[in-house]
Amino acid sequence: MAKASTSKKAPQKRSTTKKSQARPSDTLTAEQKLELFRWTLMTRKLEERLTNLYRQNKVVGGLYRSLGQEGETVAAAYALHKDDLVGPLIRNLGALLVRGYPARDIAMQYMARGGGPTQGKDLNVHFGDVHTHGVVPPISMLGDVVPVMVGIALAARMKGEKRVALTYIGDGGTSTGAFYEGMNLAAVWKLPVIVIAENNGYAYSTPTNRQMAVDSMVKKADGLGIFGITIDGNDILAVYDAVHEARERGLRDEGPSLIEVMTYRRKGHAEHDMQKYVPKGEIESWEKNDPIDRYIAELVKTGVATKEQLEAITQEVTTEIESEMEIALASPPPNPSITLESVYFDPPLAEDHLAPYRETS
């Protein structure tokens, strides 16, 4: 069996448009470009704050970071329109912010508080409402969100609505049969499904070359008969461009797109993972390729903002997160009485079965 090696170079391609052509991101206003900055930064700052809460034992269970990947998540979600739908997974916290969920919601989820979107019934980013926020609530089983997004796009087409459905999946998640069956359906039915395939080097401890035998996930797209492209996932505007184009293709009934974003998971699978399996120097080399640093440089270079302006936004974001965390921390744990609620639309089936034994001794 092949030896592990993850030192892949991030390719330089940015979009399908030729060098000479205008890129979709060229039409973004300075305001929009700064909004992109703001969400990306907020993702990072919020996760940092959550790590803090985790160390204080306020987070219940594990904590999963997207350090180094915040850009692709946010840019992809940002390229969608209001009516589109997005299905974020654990490392796509940023998409929830873009979609309008306040930081407190995520914090309350992580802290298992009653004020969180699932009232403490489910954890971390496992929430979402297709009607209010266009967000599809995921489950843990990797791959399953893909066919669900296909059904979302199918429903939109049936209703005559022009909406696309975007989800993210890790290199590891693309090994699942659910991913394959879902993508094949979307391919045959030419549905506007966009998948951001996050090639971040690892699935838990397993490097990408022990996960698949292809050297590019574009080949997986070819194998499905759909559009595929590999882009630099730490180049925020490149991700924006690729999703923008995928969206247009989808709405022209040209079918799904698989966008492989080359990026890197700089933290372990979860906070407890000590990353012993990571070769020396690998993390450091990717630190130099940080999406936020790069975007700051780009914004400054292209004159969208000065360093001082970006610093001001950073201050704002930090302040906002602090006040959000205050609200989250003030939320009490859920009331046990909700445990039996909402299993069905109809009343619970076996409300009474432990009741006789609940009286104190």
Partner 1 sequence: MSTVTYLEAIRDGLHEEMERDESVFLIGEDVATYGGAFGVTTGLKDSFGEERILDTPISEVGFTGAAIGAAMMGMRPVVEFQFLDFIACAFNIITNYAATTRYRTGNGVPMVMRGPMGGGVRGGPFHSQNPESFFFNTPGLKIVAPATAYDAKGLLKSSIRDNDPVIFLEHKYLYRRMKDDLPSGEILVPIGEGLVRKKGGDLSIITFGSMVHRSLEAADALEKEGIHAEVIDLRSLLPFDEALILESIKKTGKALIVHEATLTGGVGAEFAARISEKAFEYLDGPVTRVASLDTPVPYSPPLEDMFMPSTQIITNAARKLAHY
Ligand X SMILES: Cc1ncc(C[n+]2csc(CCOP(=O)(O)OP(=O)(O)O)c2C)c(N)n1
Instruction: Decide: is 151 part of the binding site for a copy of itself (CB under 8 A).
Output: no
d(CA 68, CA 54): 19
Q: Which does 213 bind (CB under 5 to 8 A by kind): Mg ion, a copy of itself, ligand X, none?
A: a copy of itself
Cβ closest to ligand X, residue 63 vs residue 296: 63
In the complex, what is the shortest distance from the CB of residue 62 to ligand X, in angstroms, rounded to a whole number? Answer: 10
Q: What are the backbone angles phi and psi of residue 7, rounded to the nearest 5°?
A: -80, 65
Binding mask 184-203 for Mg ion (x = CB under 5 A): ----------------x--x
Instruction: Decide: is 91 part of the binding site for ligand X (CB under 6 A).
Output: yes
Cβ closest to a copy of itself, residue 141 vs residue 349: 141
Q: Which does 200 bind (CB under 5 to 8 A by kind): Mg ion, a copy of itself, partner 1, none?
A: Mg ion
Q: Which does 140 bind (CB under 5 to 8 A by kind): Mg ion, ligand X, a copy of itself, none?
A: ligand X
The residue sitting closest to ligand X, measured at its beta carbon, is 170
> Which residues partner with 203 through β-bridges?
206
Residues 154-213 that bind a copy of itself (CB under 8 A): 175-178, 180-181, 184, 187-190, 210-213
Residue 301's Cβ-count burial label (10 Å; 0-12, 13-18, 19+) is exposed
Q: Which of 98, 108, 142, 299 binds ligand X (CB under 6 A)?
A: 142
In the complex, what is the shortest distance from the CB of residue 127 to a copy of itself, in angstroms, rounded to a whole number? Answer: 27
Residue type, 331: S
Q: Would you give the end-to-end CA distance of the chain in angstroms?
A: 61
Q: Among 84, 79, 105, 81, which Cα is nearest to 93's?
A: 105
Q: Which does 223 bind (CB under 5 to 8 A by kind): partner 1, ligand X, Mg ion, none?
A: none
Instruction: Decide: is 139 part of the binding site for ligand X (CB under 6 A).
Output: no
Q: How far is CA 228 from the centre of its chain?
A: 19
Q: Which of 142, 166, 224, 261 binds a copy of itself (CB under 8 A)?
A: 224
Tokens of 349: 């089936």
d(CA 58, CA 271): 14
Q: Considering Cα of 13, then 17, then 18, then 19, what sign does the dihedral take? A: negative
**Helix segments in 70-125, DSSP class H:** 70-78, 93-98, 103-110
| Nearest-10 Cα torsion for 271, 274, 280, 285 | 0
Q: Among 243, 247, 253, which Cα is nearest to 188's?
A: 253
Cβ closest to ligand X, residue 67 vs residue 226: 67
- Region from 104-112, 171-179, 223-231, 323-331 binding ligand X, contact rule CB under 6 A: 171-179
Q: Which residues bind ligand X (CB under 6 A)?
A: 91, 140-142, 170-173, 176, 198, 200, 202-204, 265, 269
Q: Which residues bind Mg ion (CB under 5 A)?
A: 170-171, 200, 203
